[in-house]
Amino acid sequence: MNRAKRTSRIGIIITIIILMIIVAVSNIKVNNVTFVESGLGVLVMPIQNGLTYFKNWIFGNDDFFTNVNNLQEENKHLKEKNSELEQSLRELEIIKSENTTLKEYVNLKEKYSQYETIPGYVINKDISNYSDTIIINLGSKDGIAVNMPVISNEGLVGHVISVTDTTSKVQTIVDTASTISCTITTSRDTLIARGTLEGDSILKATYIPTEATILESDKVETSGLGGIYPKGIYIGTIKKVVNTKNITDRYAMIQTAVDFKKLDTILVITK
Protein backbone atom coordinates (compact mmCIF):
# COMPACT_ATOMS: atom_id res chain seq x y z
CA MET A 1 0.00 0.00 0.00
CA ASN A 2 2.81 2.39 1.05
CA ARG A 3 4.78 1.48 -2.01
CA ALA A 4 1.81 2.14 -4.27
CA LYS A 5 1.34 5.53 -2.60
CA ARG A 6 4.99 6.41 -3.09
CA THR A 7 4.94 5.44 -6.79
CA SER A 8 1.79 7.48 -7.37
CA ARG A 9 3.42 10.47 -5.64
CA ILE A 10 6.52 10.12 -7.83
CA GLY A 11 4.21 9.85 -10.84
CA ILE A 12 2.51 13.12 -9.90
CA ILE A 13 5.82 14.92 -9.43
CA ILE A 14 7.10 13.65 -12.79
CA THR A 15 3.84 14.77 -14.46
CA ILE A 16 4.17 18.26 -12.95
CA ILE A 17 7.77 18.54 -14.18
CA ILE A 18 6.85 17.35 -17.68
CA LEU A 19 3.90 19.78 -17.78
CA MET A 20 6.11 22.70 -16.79
CA ILE A 21 8.70 21.78 -19.42
CA ILE A 22 6.00 21.51 -22.13
CA VAL A 23 4.47 24.87 -21.15
CA ALA A 24 7.89 26.54 -21.15
CA VAL A 25 9.04 25.00 -24.45
CA SER A 26 5.75 25.54 -26.29
CA ASN A 27 5.75 29.25 -25.46
CA ILE A 28 9.38 29.98 -26.33
CA LYS A 29 10.09 31.71 -29.64
CA VAL A 30 12.40 29.79 -31.97
CA ASN A 31 15.05 32.51 -32.10
CA ASN A 32 15.15 32.83 -28.34
CA VAL A 33 17.85 30.38 -27.30
CA THR A 34 19.53 32.23 -24.44
CA PHE A 35 18.29 29.56 -22.04
CA VAL A 36 20.36 26.98 -23.90
CA GLU A 37 23.34 29.27 -23.64
CA SER A 38 22.92 29.79 -19.93
CA GLY A 39 22.27 26.09 -19.39
CA LEU A 40 25.47 25.17 -21.19
CA GLY A 41 27.25 27.97 -19.31
CA VAL A 42 26.30 26.40 -16.00
CA LEU A 43 27.87 23.15 -17.16
CA VAL A 44 31.05 24.56 -18.69
CA MET A 45 31.93 27.70 -16.73
CA PRO A 46 32.85 26.21 -13.32
CA ILE A 47 35.30 23.82 -14.99
CA GLN A 48 36.68 26.67 -17.08
CA ASN A 49 37.11 28.78 -13.93
CA GLY A 50 38.93 25.97 -12.17
CA LEU A 51 41.25 25.48 -15.12
CA THR A 52 42.10 29.21 -15.26
CA TYR A 53 42.78 29.22 -11.54
CA PHE A 54 45.06 26.21 -11.97
CA LYS A 55 46.92 27.87 -14.84
CA ASN A 56 47.50 31.06 -12.81
CA TRP A 57 48.80 29.01 -9.93
CA ILE A 58 51.25 27.12 -12.09
CA PHE A 59 52.61 30.22 -13.79
CA GLY A 60 53.23 31.88 -10.41
CA ASN A 61 50.69 34.65 -10.43
CA ASP A 62 51.75 35.82 -6.94
CA ASP A 63 49.74 39.05 -6.80
CA PHE A 64 46.66 36.94 -6.94
CA PHE A 65 47.23 35.63 -3.42
CA THR A 66 48.65 38.76 -1.79
CA ASN A 67 45.80 40.86 -3.02
CA VAL A 68 43.12 38.56 -1.74
CA ASN A 69 42.62 40.45 1.54
CA ASN A 70 42.36 43.83 -0.16
CA LEU A 71 40.03 42.39 -2.70
CA GLN A 72 37.75 40.91 -0.07
CA GLU A 73 37.38 44.28 1.61
CA GLU A 74 36.77 46.04 -1.65
CA ASN A 75 34.26 43.37 -2.56
CA LYS A 76 32.32 43.94 0.64
CA HIS A 77 32.29 47.69 0.04
CA LEU A 78 31.13 47.24 -3.55
CA LYS A 79 28.39 44.81 -2.51
CA GLU A 80 26.95 47.39 -0.14
CA LYS A 81 27.04 50.03 -2.84
CA ASN A 82 25.46 47.61 -5.26
CA SER A 83 22.50 46.90 -3.00
CA GLU A 84 21.97 50.66 -2.55
CA LEU A 85 21.99 51.14 -6.30
CA GLU A 86 19.62 48.24 -6.81
CA GLN A 87 17.20 49.78 -4.36
CA SER A 88 17.16 53.10 -6.19
CA LEU A 89 16.84 51.29 -9.52
CA ARG A 90 13.76 49.49 -8.26
CA GLU A 91 12.21 52.79 -7.19
CA LEU A 92 12.97 54.27 -10.59
CA GLU A 93 11.38 51.33 -12.33
CA ILE A 94 8.16 51.76 -10.38
CA ILE A 95 8.09 55.45 -11.33
CA LYS A 96 8.82 54.55 -14.96
CA SER A 97 5.93 52.07 -15.20
CA GLU A 98 3.59 54.61 -13.60
CA ASN A 99 4.76 57.17 -16.09
CA THR A 100 4.10 54.92 -19.11
CA THR A 101 0.58 54.10 -17.90
CA LEU A 102 -0.23 57.79 -17.46
CA LYS A 103 1.34 58.61 -20.83
CA GLU A 104 -0.76 55.92 -22.46
CA TYR A 105 -3.91 57.50 -21.08
CA VAL A 106 -2.87 60.97 -22.32
CA ASN A 107 -1.88 59.63 -25.77
CA LEU A 108 -5.13 57.76 -26.09
CA LYS A 109 -7.14 60.85 -25.28
CA GLU A 110 -5.26 63.01 -27.80
CA LYS A 111 -5.30 60.47 -30.60
CA TYR A 112 -9.05 60.11 -30.67
CA SER A 113 -9.91 63.65 -29.63
CA GLN A 114 -12.87 63.87 -32.04
CA TYR A 115 -14.69 61.23 -29.98
CA GLU A 116 -15.88 61.48 -26.41
CA THR A 117 -14.13 58.69 -24.56
CA ILE A 118 -13.76 57.17 -21.11
CA PRO A 119 -10.50 55.41 -20.13
CA GLY A 120 -10.57 52.08 -18.31
CA TYR A 121 -8.69 48.83 -18.00
CA VAL A 122 -9.22 45.11 -18.56
CA ILE A 123 -10.08 43.21 -15.38
CA ASN A 124 -10.84 39.73 -16.71
CA LYS A 125 -10.15 37.72 -19.85
CA ASP A 126 -12.03 34.80 -21.35
CA ILE A 127 -11.70 31.36 -19.76
CA SER A 128 -12.36 29.44 -22.98
CA ASN A 129 -9.99 28.72 -25.85
CA TYR A 130 -12.65 29.30 -28.49
CA SER A 131 -13.93 32.78 -27.70
CA ASP A 132 -12.35 36.12 -26.85
CA THR A 133 -14.45 38.35 -24.65
CA ILE A 134 -12.99 40.61 -21.97
CA ILE A 135 -14.43 42.39 -18.96
CA ILE A 136 -13.58 46.04 -18.29
CA ASN A 137 -13.89 48.11 -15.13
CA LEU A 138 -16.48 50.54 -16.54
CA GLY A 139 -20.23 50.08 -16.24
CA SER A 140 -23.54 51.84 -16.67
CA LYS A 141 -22.61 54.14 -13.76
CA ASP A 142 -19.80 55.52 -15.93
CA GLY A 143 -22.17 56.04 -18.85
CA ILE A 144 -21.37 52.86 -20.77
CA ALA A 145 -24.11 51.30 -22.92
CA VAL A 146 -24.37 48.22 -25.15
CA ASN A 147 -22.79 48.45 -28.65
CA MET A 148 -20.34 51.21 -27.72
CA PRO A 149 -17.02 50.71 -29.54
CA VAL A 150 -13.88 50.04 -27.50
CA ILE A 151 -10.40 51.08 -28.66
CA SER A 152 -6.85 51.14 -27.31
CA ASN A 153 -3.74 53.16 -28.07
CA GLU A 154 -2.85 50.82 -30.96
CA GLY A 155 -6.25 50.44 -32.58
CA LEU A 156 -9.69 48.87 -32.48
CA VAL A 157 -10.47 46.41 -29.63
CA GLY A 158 -14.17 45.53 -29.95
CA HIS A 159 -17.60 46.56 -28.73
CA VAL A 160 -19.62 46.33 -25.53
CA ILE A 161 -22.11 43.43 -25.50
CA SER A 162 -23.51 43.70 -21.97
CA VAL A 163 -23.30 46.12 -19.07
CA THR A 164 -23.67 45.89 -15.31
CA ASP A 165 -23.43 48.80 -12.86
CA THR A 166 -19.66 48.66 -12.54
CA THR A 167 -18.39 46.34 -15.29
CA SER A 168 -18.98 45.67 -18.98
CA LYS A 169 -18.44 42.66 -21.21
CA VAL A 170 -16.62 43.44 -24.44
CA GLN A 171 -16.58 41.19 -27.50
CA THR A 172 -13.16 41.67 -29.09
CA ILE A 173 -12.67 41.82 -32.86
CA VAL A 174 -10.68 38.54 -32.76
CA ASP A 175 -13.64 36.65 -31.28
CA THR A 176 -14.96 34.05 -33.73
CA ALA A 177 -18.45 35.58 -33.60
CA SER A 178 -17.19 39.06 -34.53
CA THR A 179 -17.53 40.55 -38.01
CA ILE A 180 -16.36 44.03 -39.04
CA SER A 181 -16.72 45.91 -42.26
CA CYS A 182 -13.38 47.54 -43.07
CA THR A 183 -11.54 49.38 -45.81
CA ILE A 184 -7.96 49.43 -47.03
CA THR A 185 -6.58 52.92 -46.36
CA THR A 186 -4.79 53.34 -49.70
CA SER A 187 -7.15 51.78 -52.26
CA ARG A 188 -10.44 52.27 -50.31
CA ASP A 189 -11.56 48.72 -51.15
CA THR A 190 -13.99 47.29 -48.61
CA LEU A 191 -13.56 43.87 -46.94
CA ILE A 192 -15.29 41.88 -44.23
CA ALA A 193 -12.97 40.83 -41.38
CA ARG A 194 -13.90 37.95 -39.08
CA GLY A 195 -12.29 36.61 -35.94
CA THR A 196 -10.59 33.24 -36.36
CA LEU A 197 -9.29 30.40 -34.21
CA GLU A 198 -5.99 30.45 -36.08
CA GLY A 199 -4.24 33.01 -33.88
CA ASP A 200 -4.63 35.40 -30.98
CA SER A 201 -4.26 38.60 -32.98
CA ILE A 202 -5.32 37.51 -36.47
CA LEU A 203 -8.44 38.35 -38.51
CA LYS A 204 -9.56 36.67 -41.71
CA ALA A 205 -10.66 39.12 -44.42
CA THR A 206 -13.16 37.80 -46.96
CA TYR A 207 -15.52 39.21 -49.62
CA ILE A 208 -12.59 40.92 -51.31
CA PRO A 209 -13.83 42.65 -54.51
CA THR A 210 -12.50 40.91 -57.64
CA GLU A 211 -11.00 44.11 -59.04
CA ALA A 212 -9.29 45.07 -55.75
CA THR A 213 -5.53 44.96 -55.49
CA ILE A 214 -4.45 43.93 -52.03
CA LEU A 215 -0.82 43.94 -51.00
CA GLU A 216 0.89 42.68 -47.89
CA SER A 217 1.41 45.36 -45.21
CA ASP A 218 -1.50 47.44 -46.52
CA LYS A 219 -3.21 49.20 -43.63
CA VAL A 220 -6.81 48.40 -42.74
CA GLU A 221 -9.33 50.60 -40.89
CA THR A 222 -13.04 50.50 -40.10
CA SER A 223 -15.36 51.53 -42.92
CA GLY A 224 -18.14 52.91 -40.74
CA LEU A 225 -20.74 50.50 -42.14
CA GLY A 226 -22.69 48.26 -39.78
CA GLY A 227 -23.73 50.83 -37.21
CA ILE A 228 -21.38 49.91 -34.34
CA TYR A 229 -17.90 51.09 -35.24
CA PRO A 230 -17.27 54.68 -36.41
CA LYS A 231 -15.29 55.27 -39.60
CA GLY A 232 -11.50 55.46 -39.68
CA ILE A 233 -10.40 53.49 -36.61
CA TYR A 234 -7.17 51.63 -37.29
CA ILE A 235 -7.49 47.81 -37.21
CA GLY A 236 -4.15 46.43 -38.42
CA THR A 237 -2.11 45.47 -41.47
CA ILE A 238 -2.53 42.79 -44.13
CA LYS A 239 -0.20 39.93 -43.21
CA LYS A 240 -0.81 37.51 -46.05
CA VAL A 241 -3.02 37.30 -49.13
CA VAL A 242 -4.19 33.79 -50.07
CA ASN A 243 -5.20 33.40 -53.70
CA THR A 244 -7.55 30.57 -54.61
CA LYS A 245 -8.56 29.15 -57.99
CA ASN A 246 -11.71 31.17 -57.95
CA ILE A 247 -10.78 34.81 -57.41
CA THR A 248 -14.00 35.55 -55.53
CA ASP A 249 -12.93 33.06 -52.85
CA ARG A 250 -9.56 34.62 -52.10
CA TYR A 251 -8.96 35.82 -48.59
CA ALA A 252 -6.38 37.73 -46.56
CA MET A 253 -5.05 37.51 -43.03
CA ILE A 254 -4.95 40.76 -41.04
CA GLN A 255 -2.50 41.19 -38.18
CA THR A 256 -4.34 43.33 -35.63
CA ALA A 257 -2.54 46.39 -34.31
CA VAL A 258 -3.64 45.50 -30.80
CA ASP A 259 -1.79 42.65 -29.10
CA PHE A 260 -4.73 40.97 -27.37
CA LYS A 261 -2.48 38.92 -25.11
CA LYS A 262 -1.03 42.07 -23.55
CA LEU A 263 -4.13 44.28 -23.74
CA ASP A 264 -4.36 46.37 -20.60
CA THR A 265 -5.70 49.91 -20.98
CA ILE A 266 -8.70 50.70 -23.18
CA LEU A 267 -10.98 53.60 -24.13
CA VAL A 268 -14.72 53.34 -24.61
CA ILE A 269 -16.13 55.73 -27.23
CA THR A 270 -19.34 57.17 -25.81
CA LYS A 271 -20.11 59.63 -28.64
Burial of residue 75 (CB within 10 Å: 0-12, 13-18, 19+) is: exposed
CB nearer to other proteins: give 84 or 200.
Answer: 200
Nearer to other proteins, 63 or 165 (CB): 165
The smaller minimum CB distance to other proteins, of residues 114 and 176, is found at 176
d(CA 184, CA 238): 9
Residues within the interface to other proteins (CB under 8 A): 8, 11-12, 15-16, 18-19, 22-23, 26-27, 124-131, 133, 135, 161, 169, 171, 175-177, 194, 196-198, 200, 204
CA angle 219, 224, 228 (to 5 degrees): 115
Q: In angstroms, give the least distance from the CB of 129 to other proteins.
A: 5
Q: State which residue, 111 or 126, has the beta carbon closest to other proteins.
A: 126
- Beta carbon of residue 91, minimum distance to other proteins (angstroms, whole number): 27
Q: How far is the CB of 58 from other proteins (least distance, A)?
A: 51
Contact 246, 261 (CB under 8 A): no
* Count of beta carbons in the 10 Å neighbourhood of residue 102: 10
Taking the least distance from each CB to other proteins, the nearer of 27 and 246 is 27
Three-state DSSP at 119 gives: strand
Of 172, 162, 187, 190, give the one whose Cα is nearest residue 258. 172
Q: In angstroms, give the least distance from the CB of 27 to other proteins.
A: 7
Contact 118, 144 (CB under 8 A): yes
Give the residue with the Cβ less far from other proteins, 198 or 216: 198
Q: How far is the CB of 79 from other proteins (least distance, A)?
A: 34
The set of residues, in sequence order, having a beta carbon less than 8 Å from that of 174 and lying 6+ positions away, is: 132, 195, 196, 200, 201, 202, 203, 256, 260
The DSSP result for 152-171, as a single string, is -SSSEEEEEEEE-SS-EEEE
CB 124, min distance to other proteins, A: 6
The residues, any chain, with a CB within 8 Å of residue 261's CB and separated by 6 or more, are: 200, 201
Q: What CA–CA distance (Å, rounded) separates 222 from 209?
A: 16
Q: Which is nearer to other proteins, 17 or 215 (CB)?
A: 17
Closest separation in Å from C-beta 194 to other proteins: 6
